[in-house]
Amino acid sequence: MHKVAIVGRPNVGKSSLFNRLIGRREAVVADFPGVTRDAKEGLMLHHNERITLVDTGGLWSGDEWEAAIREKAEWAMEGANAVIFVLDPRDGLSAADYEVAEWLRRLGKPVIVAANKMDSPKHEPYLAELWGLGFGEPVAISAEHARGLDDLLERVTAHLPEDDGDVSEVAPIRISLIGRPNVGKSSLLNAITQTDRAIVADQPGTTRDSLDVEWNYGGQRFVLVDTAGIRKKPDTAIEDYAIQRSEAAIERSDLIWLVVNAGDLGDHELKLANLAYDSGKPVIVVVNKWDLIPDEDLKRTEKDLNQKLHHISYAPRVYTSAINDYGIHDMLAEAMKLYDKWQSRVPTAELNRWLEVWQMKHRVPNFGGKPLRMYFMTQVETAPPTFAIFCNRANFVTRAYEGFLHNRIREDLDLAGVPVRLKWKEKGPYKGKGKAKGDDAE
């Protein structure tokens, strides 16, 4: 698959162009510089050409992130077939533009100069100065108004070799890392992939947008999604939008790693547990920085975890340290196991044998001498496993009895750690007189 990197100084519209080319709002866009820090990938198709597009942070920003952003941009250049150098020439070329141009010349990659924010033909006189950069004829574009993009892509594809068509047919497992700021999500991602793909810093809020990283483990493809830290109350509009992007990443994922700081548990973990619970996706609680907990505090910390995360008590836990790689392989092994269960299907005959056993193990609800009768059970969906139980009166089902069935399904059907759904369907003379029930994933 081809790879094309988008580079430029801060606030010239790189992320706007990235979003426009891949056809969706993947990268956070704002009117001030410094929003994008990590290198973000997205797939686009153009005339049957599959292109991995990489959005990079603003180069030569002059701030504390300059070195880290340049390091990630250099990673983006590895294997890139071409580079789109984005500029905003309306105020003339800046010193940072010339620094980026010199850096690109040293790398020796094919460069296409994209003069962004050229919203109308009257702006094209600004292009004259760009010839002096030495990369040939600039292309006038407007990412906001989709102007000049066909010309840009024509120049890009001229540098791409023929597509070899060697693309895996097996879809990767998508896993999102969620948690509040500074619990070590980016450090864990780097430890898993044995790279420095995500920028790591001591201060919270370093990650401003979700970052997708492809990874192969034991022959299984993964897409690991590092999300922005989710606060109770975002301090800025950009944080609020980053949280929305994190929630969207969760919706697109197959599994969730809920990362918590072993030594700093608070009420916010309950909100994150609810967010994971509502998604209906398998959740693995990753207790990070476990190596920092003194031996005498281990039992107390476990008790705090049980209290704060009681909504997802079914979720397995992995104890990790991103610093010394402790528990890293357990995260991936547990994810592969849960993913298989999440996709599994139980034969109807086996379900109904167990339904008889469960009714003998626990007395069914009884209202006014009329018991709940369960006639038949079948699995209607996977991912998450969803079961329909046909009964006489759906409104006879109590929360306690439903909880009992959830527990039996997980234990007896080998679905431990997986959220399951139950739907109640009425049949017989009372059909329609009770209220049909269908619960959220549990």
Say whether 105 counts as a known binding-site residue: no
Say whether 118 counts as a known binding-site residue: yes
Say whether 392 counts as a known binding-site residue: no
Quick one: angle between helices 149-157 and 14-22, nearest 10? 80
Residue with tokens 């426009």: 20
Say whether 9 counts as a known binding-site residue: yes
**How far apart, in whole angstroms, are the C-alpha atoms of residue 353 and residue 235?**
54
Which tokens go with 197?
Answer: 């793909």
Say whether 52 counts as a known binding-site residue: no
Say whether 12 counts as a known binding-site residue: yes
Say whether 89 counts as a known binding-site residue: no
Say whether 291 counts as a known binding-site residue: yes
- Cβ contacts of 433 within 8 Å, gap of 6 or more: 393, 426
Say whether 117 counts as a known binding-site residue: yes
Which tokens go with 56?
Answer: 């990079």
CA 71 centroid distance within chain: 23
Say whether 182 counts as a known binding-site residue: yes
Say whether 290 counts as a known binding-site residue: yes
Query: What sign has the CA pseudo-torsion 60, 66, 67, 71?
Result: negative
Say whether 56 counts as a known binding-site residue: yes
Residue with tokens 């969706």: 24
Say whether 316 counts as a known binding-site residue: no
Say whether 161 counts as a known binding-site residue: no
Say whether 84 counts as a known binding-site residue: no
Say whether 186 counts as a known binding-site residue: yes
CA 49 centroid distance within chain: 25
Which tokens go with 142?
Answer: 């407007």
Residue with tokens 């390091």: 71
Say whether 14 counts as a known binding-site residue: yes
CA 390 centroid distance within chain: 37
Say whether 55 counts as a known binding-site residue: yes
Say whether 179 counts as a known binding-site residue: yes
**How far apart, in whole angstroms, are the C-alpha atoms of residue 198 and residue 38?**
6
Instruction: Give the single-character DSSP code of 187.
Output: H
Say whether 304 counts as a known binding-site residue: no
Say whether 228 counts as a known binding-site residue: yes
Say whether 432 counts as a known binding-site residue: no
Q: Which amino acid is at 120?
A: S
Burial 50-67 (b: 16+ CB within 10 A, else e): ebbbbbbbbbbbeeebbe
Say whether 212 counts as a known binding-site residue: no
Say whether 219 counts as a known binding-site residue: no
Say whether 184 counts as a known binding-site residue: yes
Which tokens go with 80?
Answer: 């890139």
Say whether 226 counts as a known binding-site residue: yes
**How far apart, in whole angstroms, are the C-alpha atoms of residue 89 and residue 413?**
63
**Nearest of 38, 323, 330, 287 to residue 191 by alpha carbon:** 323
Q: How many CA atoms lie within 13 A of 114 on its CB side?
A: 34
For residue 389, which phi and psi values (nearest 5 degrees)? -115, 125
Say whether 185 counts as a known binding-site residue: yes
**How far apart, in whole angstroms, are the C-alpha atoms of residue 114 and residue 130?**
10
Cis peptide, bond prior to residue 384, ω within 30 of zero:
yes
Say whether 289 counts as a known binding-site residue: yes
- Cβ contacts of 195 within 8 Å, gap of 6 or more: 75, 213
Cite the annotated binding site by residue number: 8-15, 55-59, 116-119, 179-186, 226-230, 288-291
Cite the annotated binding site for GTP by residue number: 8-15, 55-59, 116-119, 179-186, 226-230, 288-291
